[in-house]
Structure 1
Amino acid sequence: MTEALSPAFRWRLPTRPVVSAELAAAGAARGLSSRLITVLAARGHASARDLDAFFGDPSEGLHDPALLPDADRAVARLQAAAAAGERVMVFGDFDADGLTGLTILVTALRCLGADATPYVPSRLDEGHGLSAAAVARAEADGQTLIVTVDCGTASAPEIATAAAAGIGVIVTEPPRRPGAAAGRRGRQPAPTRQPLPGSPAGGQRRRIQARATAAAGPPRRPGAGA
């Protein structure tokens, strides 16, 4: 009976991180509690310089968006769609990452002049990944480009269906699928030591930076005059 009630696994708690005097002083100077300083130390922020980087300007230290694989092809396709007035479906996964990336991408594309419409699939009816229903909707609505967010790597049949209907597909989840206009791999070896964003939201932010950099003039807010 005792053996039956014994847990199959045992908790292994991490060793309490060592908070240096330098880190404690730097944290206190920022008004941080000792508990928060300990949490930061456990996450690898062990010096005053680490805290400065963590709490500093978030734009500093970000990698060049051109390092994203196929970024040039994706930007060129999005520019062409915006210039031609094409309708774009942004297909976002239904989880937190997908919805966050979807919101960023739709908002930014609209700011950059694209006719972008969000699409969130039904988890129960359509399942995970680019769905046949979404492709059919895009075709019915006259959308000629689909951009997936946090999904699409296992959707080769749907991508092929879209291509047969004259609809391009940009997959922003690794790895690139056959027939897709472009693909983005968030974590991969790169010629630099700069980490690429692994989250969909981070990836969309960098993709939009690349799009905005390539666009003529600053991005405009939705509804603003030309």
Structure 2
Amino acid sequence: MTDTTAPLISFSDVKKHYGEGSARVDALRGVSFDVTAGEVVGLRGPSGSGKTTVLNIVGCILAPSQGELRLAGEPVFAGGRWLRDDLRRLRLEAIGFIFQFHNLLPFLTSTDNVALVLQLAGQSRGAARRRAQELLDYLDVGHRRDAFPSQLSGGEAQRVAIARALANRPRIILADEPTAALDSQRAQVVMDLLRRVAIDQHAAIVVVTHDDKIADRFDRVLELRDGLLV
């Protein structure tokens, strides 16, 4: 049974290496942290420090070499193996992903880009579109619901991408450089939206960033260097 009082993300003594012998690279060398509901946590560090590896492990895309991962109190990885055999379903239903570039499908409107995720999860087209429009309104981009990605500004496209990430009501949201392509004002708007999401949805949000423009928007900042938290 899931522990509702536990951190939404619990990353315990996680190690990850690539290759073997003289070609071995230790990307993570024993990293531990928790993120609770309502928190927006920044993850910073130079290139090659292990930030993307952390995000991919939390997102159940990449298996650790050692350590434990719990999501919403449930053990997901331990003892050198995944404890769930439905990782694709887990990612679809429990984890939202936001990227530097919005990656919206160019031939779908804003509404249909968001609704597609819900339809993949089994919702009817009508219910999916209603939920999509509700999210677009929530993120103050409802007036662009019928626009195609090429018709959106950078800030609008990123809001639609956030709506897509929220479609299935995930409580874990992982963002990889979500403001890097935005100017200072739009970057701060996006971070304020993520903070609102964390509070309203009781979500845990981890943001990988190099962006000094948003440094004051985090509850905590974790600094990675050479595969270790410093």
For the superposition of Structure 1 and Structure 2, which TM-score range results when normalised by the shorter chain? Answer: 0.3 to 0.5
Using structure 2 for the length normalisation, give the TM-score.
0.32
Larger Rg: 1
Using structure 1 for the length normalisation, give the TM-score.
0.33
Higher strand share: 2
Bigger relative contact order, structure 1 or 2, given CA contacts below 8 A and separation 6+? 2
